[in-house]
Amino acid sequence: MIIKTAKFVCSSPRADMCPKTTEPEYAFIGRSNVGKSSLINMLTRHNKLAMTSSTPGKTMLVNHFIINDEWYIVDLPGYGFAQRGKREMDKLKNLIEHYVLEREQLTCLFVLIDIRHEPQKKDLEFINFLGENGVPFALVFTKADKIGKQKVNAQVNAYLKQLKDQWEELPPHFITSAETGLGRDDILNYIESVNKSLEEQPE
Ligand code: GTP
Ligand code: MG
């Protein structure tokens, strides 16, 4: 897929305040600092589209971007940023859960995992929540440039093995680096093929 245009549309503080659109939506979620905004900028080749920061918890809103005037990328706030107060954390959790469960346009939720880390309880809980609720999702391992190639494969295999203990079917997965552009074609081709299959489906 070629990205011709990528434009910021709006930021929404609540799931029910998101734009009333019908086009397919691909959202990016994961722990704070995992690289959601960086990945979006890498995919769109737009280094200032989504705001990135070395301070975790920067994205607090649901941000919509329209791609090629045909489909949306959504940057979601990071979950599990414990340094915030409980009220803020509950608000974010609420926002994410409402968006993920109620957004009909949500076509695939990309769940980002920092490839350097062992499977984290918060991520596994979130993945189970998605599986139990039938939310379509894919895994995206980020920051692959930070470790060697062999380690990349070992980390991914260990992660998938852990999921296999619980789930019969594994979600699609992608290995990426916002630094080198690794995984860009794979993700964009995947989105393109899903968009095509939606177009072919009768209403
Ligand atoms: P929040 O919005 O705070 O939840 O964070 P985020 O998930 O959007 O992360 P963000 O894209 O802001 O990136 C966090 C930090 O990780 C930044 O300092 C990025 O430069 C760095 N980073 C993100 N992706 C990569 C990557 O693929 N490789 C390397 N080396 N650094 C990365
Ligand atoms: Mg962000």
Q: Which of 34, 23, 191, 14 is nearest to 111 (CA)?
A: 34
List of residues 6+ apart from 29 with CB closer than 8 A: 36, 76, 78, 79, 96, 100, 109, 110, 111, 112, 126
Q: Which of 21, 2, 123 is nearest to 62 (CA)?
A: 21
Q: Give the model's pLDDT for residue 203.
A: 61
Low-confidence ranges of the chain (pLDDT < 50): none
> Best substitution site from 11, 32, 33, 96 to test ligand 1's pocket, by max atoms within 8 Å of Cβ?
33
Are the C-beta atoms of 59 and 78 separated by less than 8 Å? Answer: yes
Q: Give the model's pLDDT for residue 78.
A: 83
Distance from the Cα of residue 115 to its chain's centroid:
14
Q: Give the model's pLDDT for residue 49.
A: 85
Q: Give the model's pLDDT for residue 60.
A: 78
Pocket of ligand 1, beta carbon within 6 A: 30, 32-38, 52-54, 56-59, 78, 142-143, 145-146, 177-179
Cα(49) to ligand 1 centroid in Å equals: 14
Ligand nearest the Cα of residue 80 is: 1
Q: Give the model's pLDDT for residue 85.
A: 77
Q: Give the model's pLDDT for residue 51.
A: 72
Counting atoms of ligand 1 from 1, which one is nearest the CA of 57? 3
Please tell me the pTM assigned to this model.
0.94
Are the C-beta atoms of 27 and 74 separated by less than 8 Å? Answer: yes
